[in-house]
Structure 1
Amino acid sequence: MEFKPTKIPVPEYSGVDKKKFLQELYPLRKPVVLRDLDLGACKTQWSLDYMSRKGGGREVKIHVSEVPQMDFIKKNFIYRSLPFNVFVRRAAENKHTDFFISEDEKYYLRSLGEDPRKDIADISKQFPELATDIQIPEFFEKDQFFSSVFRISSPGLQLWTHYDVWYISRNIVMDNLLIQVTGTKRVVLYSPRDAQYLYLSGDKSEVLNVDNPDLVKYPLFSQARRYECTLQAGDVLFIPALWFHNTVAEEFGVGINVFWKHLPSEFYDKTDTYGNKDPTAASRAVQILDRALKTLDELPEEYKDFYARRMVLRVKAKAYSANFE
């Protein structure tokens, strides 16, 4: 079965200021590409030599994959550590003389806090020498800020389809600016409304190849609406909370993800150190659902199937927003 998805282009805007973003774009809760923003000196200064010198020899933990398509469900990669200046140069190569698995291996850095169990990723703390070069768009209040994640990808690296969570536990309602400082990146996005077509395992889609999916195994995937954009150096992509995204680094690329809280503080668990828990109301609802599903297991299969279908219909009637596209 040939797969020819309809590609919905992500809208692009130039010279957007905080007022226009918050009043006209942000309330739509849809991705937008923002161009011609003042991002500071990073756009012109972040060459390989400059980043190697400024970043120095601090150890960084990286993903190493033998294939370009990284799969977090099947874990087709290993974790290794390298000095930052060594890692940056390796990540920019297509072929390696020094390697862990093969000369074609791909590298991916997603920066972490000093103690990942306690500290958030913050480029100003983990890479202060480089952080001074970047000006993050002030499209949110200071008390909404959660983290800034430094990301570096080998050319050709593709990240699995997911929506953003912190570490591996639960889902968090965070908005996100993906700042593409150097290189070109293709981004494919799917609306939260299409979650039912993505074959989810937690926050990740089982459909690894979004360009040529196995529609025998994943027939509903063809119904997911595909939003797409290509980020050039200096572009910024706004990814609203819960939107799924899949990225391909068409070139060696360096970027920053900035996360901030979309909901008021009372929606969040105050004991949440990592930012990896559901809003408290959502957490309670999931717990209740888990108990209900466990109760259904007490019924014979025919009854279990019937009442489960009734539950699905009630959820659709009560919880789905007709206005959310």
Structure 2
Amino acid sequence: MAGQHLPVTRLEGVSREQFMQHLYPQRKPLVLEGIDLGPCTSKWTVDYLSQVGGKKEVKIHVAAVAQMDFIMLMTTCMLQKELYLLTSWSRGQLKRSIKNSLFQSHYHEQHIKDISSYGHQRALVERVMDNLLIQVTGKKRVVLFSPRDAQYLYLKGTKSEVLNIDNPDLAKYPLFSKARRYECSLEAGDVLFIPALWFHNVISEEFGVGVNIFWKHLPSECYDKTDTYGNKDPTAASRAAQILDRALKTLAELPEEYRDFYARRMVLHIQDKAYSKNSE
């Protein structure tokens, strides 16, 4: 198991002013209860989704373990894009409800991307945009890790190599035990705020439908214009990574002893100059 276990704070009856002025700036995960999501919480049943989707074939991607099982629909035969189009009225009302409840002038990208069966589990990932995970129907368990614990998560791109976070192989991933784990359960009507860069793992406890609303916390010019889901690094971070790659290639011209020494000096320089002085 990971080290410290912490519950995600749950609050009910949060106003727009409270969220934007006091809670949102804290950059911590938060479960919001009691927000009016419109008729979708009762309307989006399996029967309804099957009716609007029809008997369309879907592509199923199955792996041998639940952690890599990306089945989007088990009990209804429809394409996700068909659901996105055919439930437009309910989606519009849901979006308006969220905007009226929590936001003023922010622009949101809304995606139905979380139709899942029991046991479905997404990899431990991070996004560069802020995210509201709205549990419309069904139940989920969500585990989150702070971006400040990234050095313990064995990252490969935006994903962790640790697939089974409940029973990790600590012989292979010993540092994972140092990561602080935040956890919450979501039921129909709950809304989870996931700040940008927070790693999250979502486990479905029954068939359900969720909606993610992504929005840009930084000025628009900081993001890759082709990035819809918040998967790509901010442009400045991408440029910095390219510069670092070039620096490492330059160091490769030196003998191994010198290369090792100056690479370590570079790491120390980054730690001294780039890391936040407020790091926990």
Same fold (TM over 0.5): yes
- Give % identity: 60
Structure 2 counterpart SS, 1:33: strand
Structure (1 or 2) with the greater strand fraction: 1
| 3-state secondary structure, aligned to 1:158 | coil
- Asked if the contact 2:129–2:195 (Cα under 8 Å) also holds between the matched residues in 1, the reply is yes
Measured after TM superposition, the shift of residue 7 of structure 1 is: 1.1
Aligned equivalent of 1:216, options 129, 148, 171 = 171
CA distance in 2, matches of 1:228, 1:78: 22
How many Å separate the matches in 2 of 1:209 and 1:78?
15
Q: Secondary structure at the match of 1:281?
A: helix
Residues 48 and 88, structure 1, Cα contact 8 Å, conserved in 2: no
Deviations, residues 21-44 of structure 1 (Å, cap 9, x unaligned) = 110111011100011101111112
* Number of aligned residue pairs: 276
Aligned to 1:128: 88
> What does the per-residue CA deviation read over 1:76-126, in whole Å, with 9 as the maximum and x for residues that have no partner?
x6889xxxxxx45259xxxxxxxxxxxxxxxxx9956x9xxxxxxx94x47
C-alpha distance 79-31 of structure 1, shift in aligned 2 (>3 A): closer
Where does 1:1-325 land on structure 2 (aligned, <5 Å)? 3=1, 5-57=3-55, 60-70=58-68, 87=73, 89=75, 111=80, 123=84, 125=85, 127-128=87-88, 130-132=90-92, 134-135=94-95, 136-138=97-99, 139-140=102-103, 144-164=107-127, 173-270=128-225, 272=226, 274=228, 276-325=231-280
Deviations 1:187-232 (A, max 9, x none): 1101111111111111110111111111111111111111111111
- 5+ residue gaps, structure 2, are none
Q: How has the CA–CA distance of structure 1 residues 245 and 14 changed in structure 2, closer, same or farther, with 3 Å as cutoff?
A: same
Further displaced range: 50-59 or 283-292: 50-59
Which runs of at least 4 in structure 1 moved beyond 6 Å after TM superposition?
none
Q: Which runs of 5+ in 1 are unaligned?
A: 71-76, 81-86, 92-108, 115-121, 165-172
Question: Contact (CA 8 Å) 1:176, 1:239: kept in 2 or not?
Answer: yes
TM-superposed deviation, 1:60: 4.8
C-alpha separation in 1, matches of 2:21 and 2:5? 27
Considering Cα pairs closer than 8 Å and 6+ residues apart, tell me whether 1 or 2 has the greater RCO: 2
**Which structure is higher in helix share?**
2
TM-score if structure 1 supplies the norm length? Answer: 0.77
Q: Normalised by the size of structure 2, how large is the TM-score?
A: 0.88
Deviation of residue 259 (structure 1)? Answer: 0.5
Whole-Å separation in 1 of the counterparts to 2:142 and 2:79:
17
Which amino acid in 1 is paired with 2:122?
Answer: L
CA RMSD of aligned residues (A): 2.7
Cα distance in 1 for partners of 2:119, 2:143 equals 15
Q: Distance in 1 between matches of 2:186 and 2:33?
A: 9
